[in-house]
Amino acid sequence: MFDLQALGIEYGTLAMLLTLLALLITGMPLAFVTLLVAFIFALGWFGPSSIPLITSRIYTFVSSFVFVSVPMFVMMASLLDRSGIARDLFDAMRLIGGRFRGGVAVQTIFVAVVLAAMSGIIGGEIVLLGLLALPQMLRMGYDRRLAIGVICAGGSLGTMIPPSIVLIIYGLTANVSIGDLFTAAFVPGFLLAGLYVAYVLVRAWLDPESAPALEPEDIPAGEKARLLKSLIFPLGIVFMVLGSIYGGIASVTEASAVGVVGVALATIVRGEFTLKMLKEASLQTLETCGMIVWIGVGASALVGVFNLMGGVNFVSGLITGISDNPTVIILVMMAILFVLGMFLDWVGIALLTMPIFVPIVTQLGYSPVWFGVVFR
């Protein structure tokens, strides 16, 4: 049996990093890469007796009660994707967006905020906004880069505005209260949305052709009433989820279940609910959560092995030794996250880096809740 311990922690860390990169380049999924590397280094560093360590890390990750909220919020997003709630919400925002230059882009950001507050899922929201808003903006003559940028930026608000899956995974990894994270991210999330709106309006003012206005439209009173009525369900679901969390009525996990029931009832009242819809939404939820669980299992095993090797202390010392200025250290960590974001998805990044970064942040005197908001 090969003895990796002879490499020492410095070369052992380098060997682990190069092995990870080499396997990722082959196209192997991140979950299997991290799990395979964890097995290799557990066997090579500690021997066969270390294998139970990996299984214990797996159990610790999947047995968290808060993790139950993840499939619930994913289920909410899956049902929303298959209902007409988001489409009607977008149509209702015409009452705002059709009145000024760049209005459709602003309308799209408003819809993104509501969708983010309903489910907290990123990928599905971007796809949904792309289907609803992108064709209309391109048809109106919007600058293609601006239109696509609005879709991507608006869809990414799901990472910040509660209930955010990113914040839930961060809280699980960093052992931070999910409720505190949601409270801390509320104002920054809406502030970011406001900055997006300000950018669109300034861009439309400086370059009118990049964001033309809609032709004046006389909407009948009956149509206005119908559009306003379509706001009841999405705003009601947002109030049910966030209101129950911030009001102290329900925990994050309980609020996620309330949200699923709310969306399901809305589809039933609208006459859209079918067994086929439920089956497709359930299958999509299983696929998404299965991916998250597998990545979490692999990353937890890898971090556990690396920690026993002494790698976490080694990397922490390496980062904190860069400068005596805490701000510089935080910027270095953010630069590392930026580079990793080019290769890995957010789940892998959070699970691989936060066990190393959060103790450093705490050591520097910063709040891990604050860093969670910065990280997202």
The pLDDT score that the predictor gives to residue 195 is 93
Under a CB-based contact definition with an 8 Å cutoff, are residues 212 and 142 in contact?
A: yes
Q: What residues have CB less than 8 Å from 213, skipping those under 6 apart?
A: 98, 100, 101, 102, 103
The pLDDT score that the predictor gives to residue 199 is 92
The amino acid occupying position 39 is F
Kindly tell me the sign of the dihedral angle through the C-alpha atoms of 348, 360, 367, 189.
Answer: negative
Q: What is the residue-level pLDDT of the chain in tens, covering all 376 positions?
A: 567 777 788 888 888 888 888 888 888 888 888 888 888 888 888 877 777 777 776 676 667 777 778 888 888 888 887 887 777 777 777 666 666 777 888 888 888 888 888 776 776 677 777 777 888 788 878 888 988 898 888 888 888 888 888 888 888 888 888 888 888 888 888 899 999 989 988 998 888 888 887 666 666 666 667 777 777 778 888 888 888 888 878 888 888 888 888 888 888 888 888 888 888 888 988 888 888 888 888 888 888 888 888 888 888 888 888 888 888 999 999 998 888 887 777 778 888 888 888 889 998 888 999 888 887 7
Token match 């597998």: residue?
294
Q: What residues have CB less than 8 Å from 134, skipping those under 6 apart?
A: 147, 148, 151
State the Cα–Cα distance between residues 70 and 138, nearest whole angstrom.
34
The pLDDT score that the predictor gives to residue 58 is 67
State the Cα–Cα distance between residues 10 and 202, nearest whole angstrom.
50
Distance of CA 196 to the CA centre of its chain: 18
The pLDDT score that the predictor gives to residue 216 is 61
Q: What residues have CB less than 8 Å from 350, skipping those under 6 apart?
A: 166, 169, 170, 173, 375
State the Cα–Cα distance between residues 72 and 176, nearest whole angstrom.
20
Exposed / middle / buried, residue 63 (Cβ in 10 Å: 0-12, 13-18, 19+) = exposed
Task: Tell me the angle at which helices 8-25 and 275-309 cross, rounded to the nearest 10 degrees.
Answer: 150
